Amino acid sequence: MKKAQITQIKSGIGRPKRQKATLTALGFKRMNQSIEVEMTPQVAGMVDKVKHLLKVEEL
């Protein structure tokens, strides 16, 4: 599987509850936090839902 580094670049404050829950499910706890994940179809779908809050870089 491909790996990606995902960084949260915008806050979840003021966003709908589903978007906040998606950020939490991805593992984000604070702004400018970066995580490395395998891009499974499930993770890709979650990233697509909150792509306006994230920066994604392929590894």
Residue ranges of the domains in the chain? 3-58
Tell me, what's the pLDDT at 16?
97
Structural contact between residues 57 and 5, judged by C-beta atoms closer than 8 angstroms: yes
- pTM score of the predicted model: 0.90
What is the CATH T-level fold of the domain 3-58, as seen in this structure?
Ribosomal Protein L30; Chain: A, (3.30.1390)
Work out the average pLDDT over 2-27.
Answer: 96
The predicted pLDDT at position 28 comes to 97
pLDDT score recorded for residue 20: 97
Report, as an integer, the average pLDDT of 7-12: 97
Give the span between the Cα atoms of 53 and 59, in whole angstroms: 19
Q: How far apart are CA 53 and CA 44, in angstroms?
A: 14
Q: Taken in order 19, 20, 25, 27, is the CA torsion positive or negative?
A: positive
pLDDT over 90 at 1, yes or no: no
Per-residue model confidence as pLDDT tens digits over 36-55: 999 999 999 999 999 999 99
